[in-house]
């Protein structure tokens, strides 16, 4: 019996979208392995971190999902003061015991090397049929920093809602179906206050607009 017919096979190449965690003075790595190389790779990282007194923590092992960057778009017509929300089926919502047809905002992962604003414009048109005449950054947030590296760029889009109100959108190639639901800004703010919007990115963006509503309406309707 022979042990091998040839030299051992080299280990599989590390996915480009699952690089090692970058160095940092607070981070003391011990192992960083890709344990799942699917659409969203998962790394198992063993490490210690430097505490506030300068000593190292005990060893920790975390699973890290690599999702990269995303964008969320809030379509608002400042003239009529209406907002376009979308509804679409979400399997994780059903798994969590929520209503699977979620009320949310257009959103998409940003392709490597692409400007998040360009992704936002394209996704807005694909999901709603709307085109924006102006984009304003809301902010960049991490939505699940205990498990994923995803950073999400939120954008406010000025639109004329007559273009896409009541339409069905989404990419057929990805089996998407998104229904556009147009409400007044006051109704959207009430939906957040009453917890009728269960989608965190939509709630966060709407709260930001509510805080900045008077200023933006004055600026965008001149």
Bridge-based pairing of strands 69-77 and 151-158 is parallel
Are residues 75 and 51 part of one domain?
Answer: no
More confident residue, 178 or 92: 92
Entry pTM:
0.88
Residues 192 and 147 grouped into a single domain = yes
15, 110: one domain: no
Together in a domain, 62 and 83: no
- Please check whether residues 211 and 117 belong to one and the same domain: yes
Does a structural domain hold residue 182?
A: yes
1 found inside a domain: no
What is the domain count for the chain? 2
Residue positions counted in the chain: 222
20 and 110 co-located in one domain:
no
Query: Are 84 and 133 contained in the same domain?
Result: yes
The answer to the question of whether 176 is labelled as a binding residue is yes
In whole angstroms, what is the distance from residue 204 CA to residue 208 CA?
A: 6
Known binder of ligand: residue 107?
Answer: yes
pLDDT tens, position by position, 32-50: 999 999 989 999 999 999 9
- CATH number for the domain spanning 145: value is 3.90.79.10
33 and 140 housed in the same domain: no
Would the annotation count 123 as a binding residue?
Answer: yes
174 is catalytic: yes
Residue 42 falls inside a structural domain: yes
Query: Residue 214: pLDDT band by 50, 70, 90 thresholds?
Result: very high
Of the residues 114, 174, 187, 219, which is catalytic?
A: 174
Q: Are 101 and 197 in contact (CB under 8 A)?
A: no
**Are residues 153 and 101 part of one domain?**
yes
List the beta bridge partners of residue 87: 103, 179
Contact 178, 88 (CB under 8 A): yes
Q: What is the mean pLDDT of the chain?
A: 92
Domain that includes residue 150, residue range = 69-221
User: Using CA atoms, how far apart are residues 1 and 25, in angstroms rounded to an integer?
Assistant: 51
Which residues pair with residue 181 across a beta bridge?
Answer: 85
For every residue of 49-85, DSSP letters joined together read: EB-TTSPBPPPEEEEEE---EEEEEEEEETTTTEEEE
Predicted pLDDT of residue 7: 74
Do 199 and 123 lie in one domain? The reply is yes
In a domain? residue 44? yes
Residue 5 is predicted with a pLDDT of 67
Please tell me whether residues 40 and 73 are part of one structural domain.
no
Residues 134, 210, single domain; the answer is yes
């Amino acid at each position: 019996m022979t042990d091998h017919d040839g030299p051992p096979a080299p280990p599989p190449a590390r996915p480009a979208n699952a690089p090692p965690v970058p160095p940092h003075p607070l981070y003391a790595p011990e192992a960083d392995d890709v344990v799942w190389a699917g659409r969203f790779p998962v790394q198992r990282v063993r490490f210690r971190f430097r505490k506030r007194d300068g000593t190292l923590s005990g060893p920790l092992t975390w699973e890290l999902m690599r999702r990269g960057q995303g964008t969320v778009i809030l379509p608002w017509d400042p003239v009529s003061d209406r907002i376009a929300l979308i509804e679409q089926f979400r399997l994780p919502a059903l798994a969590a015991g929520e209503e699977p047809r979620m009320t949310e905002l257009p959103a998409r992962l940003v392709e490597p090397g692409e400007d998040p604003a360009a992704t936002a414009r394209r996704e807005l048109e694909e999901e709603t049929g709307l085109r924006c005449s102006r984009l304003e950054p809301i902010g960049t947030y991490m939505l699940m920093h205990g498990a994923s590296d995803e950073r999400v760029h939120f954008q406010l889009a000025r639109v004329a809602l007559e273009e896409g109100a009541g339409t069905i959108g989404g990419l057929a190639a990805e089996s998407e179906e998104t229904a556009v639901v147009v409400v007044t800004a006051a109704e959207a703010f009430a939906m957040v206050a009453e917890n009728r919007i269960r989608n965190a990115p939509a709630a966060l963006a709407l709260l930001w607009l509510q805080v900045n509503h008077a200023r933006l309406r004055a600026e965008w309707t001149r």
